């Protein structure tokens, strides 16, 4: 039967920290290992409420360092792997594609090799679950939805690197019989998201009365999902997903950027007791993102029909909770924007 050790990579990041917390709470008879190299996006403060739980251990390691990864795999003999560690921001991938190739493709292949190394051919109880993105499918026109059979057509270095990693996971399944699941999810939002992504960046800028940089005409569409609903889908797929399958996960919740930004501005005016329209007056249209995908929208009917998953949090509730969280955690935001959060590991763990 093997150990009852689950490895989560990238657990100090935005989505990973919600997955780690959920797993530590729900899988009491499993030990949850969070492996993260703590890049600029990794913040252990995200997990301070659960860091002393008996079934949780943090491992500081880089997935790009195969010998370090191999040692940890041999030591802990992980039975299941949920792989979230990645470079995740499209704009950074445009500025520096190499880091995305390294971590997202080569780092993933390191994990696949290390998993093969400890599992051998007896893989009955094992799973390599790769967390991916809807961006691998490229862009939609005005209509239609991404399904699990939509051909891959990535347009940014980020999405090309995620597409590459998806292909390697699948290839290890076909070639070496490595058990795997891949899920491709739409845009997540919620507490603990690094303020380089649209929603937390704009919340922060509104608080600080800074310009809100809208790319192009703002008529780009994204399908938004509350991060805790993504974490619940991941838990369900780990427990009940079909080996060697892919699943799309989405919010059934499409918004044009400009409409979402107007809504956010309205909520922020009310929360900050500012005159109506004062946040919207910060909107500034700037040069477009190169290769900007026009529209993403997910058909999540497979995971819904097979496993009964659907989002539990409406966008109105989720956005309200997110805004509330950022307003009551301004210290978190200050630590992140000043860089102070990067000292948390040294204070707590060494
Ligand atoms: P994030 O940038 O907030 O977190 C990434 C985490 O990975 C960080 O903790 C970072 O320290 C860690 N990491 C990066 N490079 C590493 C390395 N070489 N070794 C070990 N750890 C490393 O990302 P996120 O938004 O939480 O996304 C998590 C995963 O989900 C990514 O794989 C991303 O592609 C995927 N995803 C994200 C979204 C979204 O909307 N944010 C949607 C779909 C899929
Ligand atoms: O679809 C899933 C993907 O969603 C994930 O795989 C990525 O990891 C995640 O970063 C996210 O990618 P996007 O590029 O869609 O997210 P971002 O928050 O960067 O941008 C959302 C939209 O807002 C996009 O159309 C670009 C626009 N935007 C973004 C920023 C940061 C702006 O107009 N201005 C901005 O300053």
Tens-level pLDDT at each residue, the chain (350 residues): 457 999 999 999 999 999 999 999 999 999 999 999 999 999 999 999 999 999 999 999 999 999 999 999 999 999 999 999 999 999 999 999 999 999 999 999 999 999 999 999 999 999 999 999 999 999 999 999 999 999 999 999 999 999 999 999 999 999 999 999 999 999 999 999 999 999 999 999 999 999 999 999 999 999 999 999 999 999 999 999 999 999 999 999 999 999 999 999 999 999 999 999 999 999 999 999 999 999 999 999 999 999 999 999 999 999 999 999 999 999 999 999 999 999 999 998 87
- 211 is a domain residue: no
CA of 160 to the centre of ligand 1 (A): 15
The finding on whether 24 has its CB within 6 A of some atom of ligand 2 is: no
Q: Report how far apart, in Å, the C-alpha atoms of 192 and of each of 22, 228, 308, 337 are.
A: 15, 11, 27, 13
Boundaries of domain holding 243: 5-192+223-254+296-315
What values do phi and psi take at 8, rounded to 5? -115, 125
pLDDT at site 2:
54
pLDDT value of residue 350 = 76
Closest ligand 1 atom, CA of 16?
26
Is 134 catalytic? The answer is yes
Catalytic pick among 45, 51, 135, 254? 135
84 lines ligand 1 (CB under 6 A): yes
pLDDT at residue 327, rounded to an integer: 97
Position 281 in a domain: no
Is 349 a known active-site residue? no
**Catalytic-residue membership of 137:** no
Nearest to residue 314, comparing CAs of 234, 229, 245? 229
H/E/C letters for each residue in 21-81? HHHHHHCCCCEEEEEECCCCCCCHHHHCCCCCCCCEEEEECCCCCHHHHHHHHHHHCCCEE
Q: Is residue 338 part of a domain?
A: no
**Other C-beta atoms lying within 10 Å of the C-beta of residue 4:** 14
- The count of domains in the chain is 1
Query: Is 12 contained in some domain?
Result: yes
Residue 8, strand partner residues: 34, 82
Whole-model pTM above 0.95? Answer: yes
* Choice among 76, 129, 158, 189 that is catalytic: 158
Best residue among 197, 219, 233, 264 to mutate for probing ligand 2, ranked by most atoms within 8 Å of CB: 197
CATH number for the domain spanning 96: value is: 3.40.50.720
Residue 179 lies in a domain: yes
pLDDT at 153: 98
Helix (H) or strand (E) holding 316: helix 315-328
Give the Cα separation of 323 and 224 in Å (integer).
Answer: 15
Task: With respect to residue 137, please indicate whether it lies within any of the assigned structural domains.
Answer: yes
Pocket lining: 38 vs ligand 1, CB cutoff 6 Å:
yes
Query: Cβ contacts of residue 271 below 8 Å, gap of 6+?
Result: 323, 324, 327
State the pLDDT at residue 79: 98
343 located within any domain: no
In a domain, 248, yes or no: yes
Query: Can you tell me which atom of ligand 2 is nearest the CA of 221?
Result: 25
């Amino acid at each position: 039967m093997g150990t009852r050790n689950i490895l989560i990579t990238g657990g100090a990041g935005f989505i990973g920290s919600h997955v780690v917390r959920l797993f530590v709470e729900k899988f009491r008879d499993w030990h949850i290992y969070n492996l993260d190299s703590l890049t600029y996006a990794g913040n252990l403060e995200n997990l301070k409420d659960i860091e002393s739980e008996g079934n949780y251990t943090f491992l500081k390691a880089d997935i790009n360092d195969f010998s370090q990864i191999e040692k940890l795999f041999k030591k802990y003999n992980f039975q299941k792997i949920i792989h979230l560690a990645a470079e995740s921001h499209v704009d950074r991938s445009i500025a520096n594609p190499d880091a995305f190739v390294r971590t997202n493709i080569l780092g993933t292949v390191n994990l696949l090799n290390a998993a093969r190394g400890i599992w051998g051919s007896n893989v009955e109880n094992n799973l390599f679950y790769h967390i991916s993105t809807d961006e691998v499918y490229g862009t939609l026109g005005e209509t239609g939805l991404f399904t699990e059979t939509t051909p891959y057509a990535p347009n940014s270095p980020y999405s090309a690197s995620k597409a590459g990693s998806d292909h390697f996971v699948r290839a290890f399944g076909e070639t070496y019989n490595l058990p795997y699941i891949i899920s491709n999810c739409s845009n997540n939002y919620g507490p603990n998201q690094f303020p380089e992504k649209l929603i937390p960046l704009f919340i922060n800028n509104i608080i600080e009365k800074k310009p809100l940089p809208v790319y192009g005409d703002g008529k780009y569409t994204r399908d938004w999902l509350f991060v805790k609903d993504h974490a619940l889908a991941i838990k369900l797929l780990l427990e009940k997903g079909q080996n060697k399958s892919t699943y799309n996960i989405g919010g059934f919740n499409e918004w044009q950027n400009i409409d979402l930004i107007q809504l956010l501005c309205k909520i922020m005016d009310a929360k900050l007791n500012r005159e109506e329209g004062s946040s919207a007056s910060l909107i500034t249209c700037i040069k477009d993102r190169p290769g900007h995908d026009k529209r993403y929208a997910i058909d999540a009917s497979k995971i819904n029909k097979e496993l009964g998953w659907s989002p539990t949090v409406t966008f109105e509730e989720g956005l309200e909770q997110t805004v509330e969280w950022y307003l009551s955690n301004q210290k978190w935001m200050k630590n992140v924007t000043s860089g102070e959060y990067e000292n948390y590991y040294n204070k707590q763990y060494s």
